[in-house]
Structure 1
Amino acid sequence: LVRLHWRFSGLMFGLIISGLLLVAVLSWNSRLLKRAHGDLKHTTDDLQRTAVDLASANGAVASANSELRAQNKLLVVKEDALRAQNGLFDAALNNMSQGLCMFDEAMRAIVFNTRFKSLFNVPSAADPELLASQAPIQSLREAAPELARQIEENMRGGGTASFEAEGRDGRVIAAVQQPMPDGGWVATFEDVTEQRRAQARIAHMARHDGLTNLPNRYAFRERIQEALDAPHAGGMLAVMCLDLDHFKEVNDTLGHPTGDALLCAAGDRLAACVRDTDMVARIGGDEFAILQFAVATPDDADRLGGRIIEAMHKPFQIEGEIVYATASLGIALSPLHGDDPDVLMKSADLALYAAKSDGRRTYRFFESEMGERLTSRHAMERDLRQALAARQFQLHYQPVVQLSTMTITGFEALLRWTHPEQGSIPPSKFIPIAEDAGLITEIGRWVLQEACADAAEWPAELKVSVNLSAAQFATGDIEADVVAALRGAKLGPDRLVVEITESLLLSDNKGTLDTLHRLKGLGIDIAMDDFGTGYSSLSYLRKYPFDKIKIDRAFVSQAGRGKESAAIIQTIVQLGNSLGMTTVAEGIETEQDLEMLLAVSCPEGQGYLFSRPVPRDQVFDLVRAYQSKASKVA
């Protein structure tokens, strides 16, 4: 039992010790657990804080990722925009009308466009292979060496410059060169060939006539000034103004194309008359000007003037048609007649007016009195415009006599003008002015009406002859005027004779021929006035429907002084007989003239020997006087 007690006590003590140890262990473990729990709690707190930080970091990362995605999208957009911008830049660069090239200081190409390549035949290698090479500048040197030389020379100066030079192929290239800060340079190149040609054409057009290609008034005046300013020991300077006679009639009857062709032919003919050192210009309309240099004496200008008039007197061949266009010429000399271009041209123009007033087809030198005559001419033109309304015109009548019986067969109506201040003015003085002023159509219409009205009161066997101007055919309706005059006077068409001169026939116009045939068809007689003074009268007689031929007074007046004129008159009379045309001799003033005409069997005549033109109220007295003479002879 003791042993058991001690064993039990020992066991109990062991248990107690073990319990104590266990308690100690548990207490220590508890402390460890508490500490671990505290650490765990701290760790949990840390983890919670870390989780919050991680959540915050995740939010920041997500935001950053979102921002990166946005930035990436923006970069993509910018890249696309840049790519599009580069495309536009390339398109703009390569579609420039100018060539562009940028070079570094070693003359290597940095940038160039397609136009530059085509301008200077740059090799067709790929652009990257050509960049940083000297192939482009070498092509420039080969295609346009002078332009390349100027550009390279200017590089040493370093400033902006413009150049223009002709290439080997004849093209004109303009370049603008601009230096760059790094020592290189950029230049633009443009083919200005057509521009320069256009500028040259414009400059030529500004100084030349567009139709004839002759120098114009501006160039002509400029050349006169240069000649006057230049020291010259070669003599005087002759300025000439030329006007085509009756050009308007040619233009109106044959049409403007034929008129233009005539102007060109006239310019060529004038150019053939002068020396290479002289000048021919067209200064407007049908007016030309000639500048003759080194005129030793006025005779030199006189000879040229005569040569020009003679050349212009010859017929022109225009588009297969023969056209006649004579000319009048005025001449002024420097320094005799002035030392200013405007003064010389005005003086030559005054001389031209004098030549036209003297019957045209001639030339005149300037005289100081011509200015007064021109003023007088202008005053007469002004008065002419008022004369018709003021009833200052009258008709006088000269009898046409049958030479074999000395009986009157009719009268020629002749226009007279009684000026309120100057009195009677002869037709030879005012008719040309009326034609030039465009008044002749209206005046001619009045003459027709008055002549037909007067003739209606005469005996039925008497006819009335009326002169028609070429201007009336060109600017008016002559057929309508004639018909209206006949109807208004109740005069039969068989009692009217219309007289025309060869000047009307110069253009050989079909319209004129048709008009004359229509007048002839009405029963009106057609007479050719002043036969023998024109160009090709025989061809006219064959082509036109003439009933009468009126021999010019020049042949009649000279017939008594020589056999030639009498022979011509006899030939004309025989020609008229063979063609069935009545011949009328004009300008019979002496018994000798009458005897000669009777000897060659000329049927009719008129002149001062029979009667001067008389007013209308003396016609019946004249008719009765001749009837009395005829009855006495019978």
Structure 2
Amino acid sequence: MTLLAGVIVHMATCLAIAFKTGSSVYLWLAGGFFLVFCARMITFRQFDRVDKDTMSRADIERWERILVAGAACTTTLLGICSGYAIFMLHDSFSELASISVTMATMVSVVGRNYGSRMAVDLQTFSCCLPMIICSLMAMDFYRGILSVFLIPFWLTTRAMANGVREFLYENVIARREITSIADRFDTALNNMPHGLVMVDAENRIQVVNRKACELLKIGAPERLKDRDLGAVLRYGARYNFMDSSQPELILRQMTHVAEGKLSRMLIHFPEDLSLEFSASRRADGGAVLIFEDVSSRVKAEQKILHMVRYDALTGLPNREYFSHLVQDYLNRHPRKRGPLGFMVLDIDEFKHVNDMRGHITGDRLLCAIANRIEERSRKAIVGRLMGDQFILFFPHAKDAEAMDAEIRRVHAEIQGNYEADDVTFLVSLSAGFAILESDAFAMDEWSIKADLALFESKSKERGGISGFEREMDGRYIEKQKLKADLREAVASNGLNIAYQPMFKADGSRIECAEALARWVHPEKGAIPPDVFIRLAEDMGIISDITRFILMKACVDCMTWPDHIAVSVNLSARDLRDNDILAVVSEALKNSGLSPARLHLEITESCLIDEPAAVRAILAELRNSGITIAIDDFGTGFSSLSYLDTLPLDIIKIDRSFLRNIVEDGRRLKLLRGTVNLARELGLKIVTEGVETAEQLALLNKYRATDLVQGYVFSPPVPAQNVALLQEAIGRRTPLPRRRNNVA
């Protein structure tokens, strides 16, 4: 359209000059303008039909030359038009009209052709050169001056075009760079794992990425620009994505984070979504809000926290978290008055379930018991204390009688039958409890009181329940003092050893003597072995006692006749690792005693925890020449199964087999059957607790024993008396004394 307007002006000017001056040259020039216009239009049409994507640089340059040539033809005609008027016509109208149109056209060179340096130079040159030549040829001083002024005009036009071209070129390049940066920024923004919202000082959204829209479910990013952030968040609340209070919470927390009052904020949304927000204030008063989905992390932290707080097997709170729950309850009810209850439960003989049915069944039974305790305890807080023990906290009751009744109700309802792995177990739980006022509650103190009550309950009857009484504190303190005294006695070798001989069944010879620990307390006198041995096991010092007995027994045995051996009892703790091998070896080496003269006795309890490891230790001891005996045979649940699996030499029949053996024929048959089975396996028989001549006569009649140990021949004696007894036997045949008392 600009070319059409230009050619009309050019032709009209030429026709006007021709009409004014009658010069036919301008008619030809008007026709020339029309022909050039038509040619250029045809060229433009052809250029429009070319596929630009397939053009090479050479093709582009060729088309540029064609188009520039067409433009140069137009400016050449304009230069001829003006130059002819100056040189030939000498008509002021013709000169003014042609030069004005030419100069006006030259302005369009800067406005339309600045992009091509060649187009500007060629058009300016082709336009000005005819005018300069004709002005000089006119031989007129003033026209000559005018022709000289055309040169600065030419240069100025050229400089203006170059300046426009450079300016726009730099802006195009800058725009491209800005666009490229914006594209990269947009790509990074919309592919970052965090949501980002940038707001101005009025909380209007300036920038928001796709991740933010996805996490907050607030629509497409392009729809949110210049929207108020609070209104957008309330939109999410309106469509049930978030609670109605959360938009204001986010805005308030964002302000706190931006002001440095908070480093981060974590907000939980529906559908298990957790977002962590951080914000920073901008210099213009706006803020940048960044948030990320931390749902997986929160779930992992919750899982870890649950693992830390709850027992993995039963799902009940562990001891530490139980204490926290109790304290939290007390903190929430600081002014509430009334008694509180605290109970400890212990499953009776649960160990035997694991022994007979395996730990998997035992675990399932434990879970069933835990579920029932939790179900029947109502408002009480239930926790797993350890192993087969549970702990309960009962909240405020109106009085102590009501609390006592509630505790006893729970204890009664959890007794009974339980199903595990299609097996029905009759389970009883012993319980100890303490009732206290809330202002006197101290977790550790009252846990001890409940434990004391539990100990009292278990000592009375299986499945019983006892409440704490003040006398229990005294007994507990006495027990702790006794433990301290025992520890000191063991450390200072303050224990003594007595030896109970094992005679041949006819009493003709002492074959062995069992070393028995004795403790004479400086204030309390002789402490029964079953008391202080149990204390030593609880304290973990039983191995120290074993070491002391082994060392001294081997030394004492060296003072006896060579045919007499010494027997030492080993505890379950002694057989938990290989240290006992070194202790036995050291005792034999220091004393010079032959391994054949050392007997080691174990009980069935030694085999419960790690039977394979115990068998390996016993096998190594036996291979070194030491005799292995199993003590208290027949008191466990599966003693017969050990006879063909353990490296044994002797079985010691427990004294319970001899009870009423003279009067009860069934007991005698049971004893004879056990003895015959042992002898079939090549084992030697030692019968313990033979008290009367009638019992001894019956054993000899049926050849039911190889060695006899009991008061019928001798009570435990000091080490030096063992050799004296043997000497007495050598001088005469002993007549067994009739005794009715039991050691």
Normalising by structure 1, report the TM-score: 0.68
* C-alpha distance after superposition, 1:150-174 (max 9, x if no partner): 499979x99989975324xx64568
Following TM superposition, by how much is the alpha carbon of 1:534 offset from its aligned partner in structure 2, in angstroms?
A: 1.0
Cα distance in 2, alignment partners of residues 550 and 413 from structure 1? 15
Give the letter aligned to residue 618 of structure 1. Answer: N
How many pairs does the alignment contain? 544
* Cα distance change, pair 78–415 in 1 and its aligned pair in 2 (3 A): same
Following TM superposition, by how much is the alpha carbon of 1:396 offset from its aligned partner in structure 2, in angstroms?
A: 0.5
Following TM superposition, by how much is the alpha carbon of 1:347 offset from its aligned partner in structure 2, in angstroms?
A: 1.4
Partner residue of 1:331 out of 432, 444, 454: 432
Query: Retained in 1: the 8 A contact 2:604–2:630?
Result: yes
Matched with 2:211 is 115
Please state whether the residue corresponding to 2:617 is helix, strand or coil.
Answer: helix
Cα distance in 1, alignment partners of residues 278 and 543 from structure 2? 65
Matched with 1:274 is 373
Query: Retained in 2: the 8 A contact 1:209–1:216?
Result: yes
Following TM superposition, by how much is the alpha carbon of 1:111 offset from its aligned partner in structure 2, in angstroms?
A: 5.3
Query: Retained in 2: the 8 A contact 1:399–1:410?
Result: yes
Following TM superposition, by how much is the alpha carbon of 1:602 offset from its aligned partner in structure 2, in angstroms?
A: 2.5
* Cα distance change, pair 69–438 in 1 and its aligned pair in 2 (3 A): farther
Aligned counterparts, 1:234-633, within 5 A:
237=341, 239-242=343-346, 267-268=366-367, 270-271=369-370, 274=373, 276-278=375-377, 281-283=383-385, 286=387, 288-291=389-392, 296=405, 300=409, 303=412, 331-334=432-435, 340=441, 342=443, 343-352=445-454, 365=466, 366-507=468-609, 509-560=611-662, 562-603=664-705, 604-630=707-733
* C-alpha distance after superposition, 1:533-556 (max 9, x if no partner): 111011111211222221222332
Following TM superposition, by how much is the alpha carbon of 1:445 offset from its aligned partner in structure 2, in angstroms?
A: 1.7
Give the letter aligned to residue 625 of structure 1. Answer: A
Please identify, of 220-229 and 268-277, the stretch whose mean Cα deviation from structure 2 is larger. 220-229
* Cα distance change, pair 145–473 in 1 and its aligned pair in 2 (3 A): same
* Cα distance change, pair 62–346 in 1 and its aligned pair in 2 (3 A): farther
* Cα distance change, pair 129–206 in 1 and its aligned pair in 2 (3 A): closer
Matched with 2:270 is 166
Please state whether the residue corresponding to 2:241 is helix, strand or coil.
Answer: helix
Give the letter aligned to residue 639 of structure 2. Answer: S
Cα distance in 1, alignment partners of residues 692 and 604 from structure 2? 27
Following TM superposition, by how much is the alpha carbon of 1:113 offset from its aligned partner in structure 2, in angstroms?
A: 1.9
Normalising by structure 2, report the TM-score: 0.59
Give the letter aligned to residue 714 of structure 2. Answer: S
Cα distance in 1, alignment partners of residues 274 and 698 from structure 2? 80
Following TM superposition, by how much is the alpha carbon of 1:380 offset from its aligned partner in structure 2, in angstroms?
A: 3.1
Partner residue of 1:215 out of 295, 317, 327: 317
* C-alpha distance after superposition, 1:162-208 (max 9, x if no partner): 975324xx645689999xxxxxx998775343244234324424531
* Cα distance change, pair 280–383 in 1 and its aligned pair in 2 (3 A): same
Aligned counterparts, 1:20-39, within 5 A:
none
User: What are the ranges of 5 or more consecutive residues in structure 2 without an aligned counterpart?
Assistant: 1-140, 256-264, 281-286, 395-402, 737-743
Cα distance in 2, alignment partners of residues 111 and 206 from structure 1? 43
Cα distance in 1, alignment partners of residues 442 and 361 from structure 2? 28
Query: Retained in 2: the 8 A contact 1:353–1:374?
Result: no
Cα distance in 2, alignment partners of residues 171 and 115 from structure 1? 14
Matched with 1:94 is 190
Cα distance in 2, alignment partners of residues 243 and 158 from structure 1? 54
- For CA contacts below 8 A with separation 6 or more, give which structure has more relative contact order: 1
* Cα distance change, pair 311–238 in 1 and its aligned pair in 2 (3 A): farther
* C-alpha distance after superposition, 1:487-519 (max 9, x if no partner): 322222222211100001123521211221222
Query: Retained in 1: the 8 A contact 2:511–2:564?
Result: yes
* Cα distance change, pair 376–64 in 1 and its aligned pair in 2 (3 A): farther
Give the letter aligned to residue 443 of structure 1. Answer: I
Please state whether the residue corresponding to 1:543 is helix, strand or coil.
Answer: coil
Give the letter aligned to residue 627 of structure 1. Answer: G
Cα distance in 1, alignment partners of residues 217 and 268 from structure 2? 18
Cα distance in 2, alignment partners of residues 565 and 427 from structure 1? 28
Matched with 2:262 is none
Query: Retained in 1: the 8 A contact 2:513–2:564?
Result: yes
Aligned counterparts, 1:14-53, within 5 A:
none
Following TM superposition, by how much is the alpha carbon of 1:605 offset from its aligned partner in structure 2, in angstroms?
A: 2.1
Cα distance in 2, alignment partners of residues 130 and 301 from structure 1? 61
Query: Retained in 2: the 8 A contact 1:407–1:626?
Result: yes
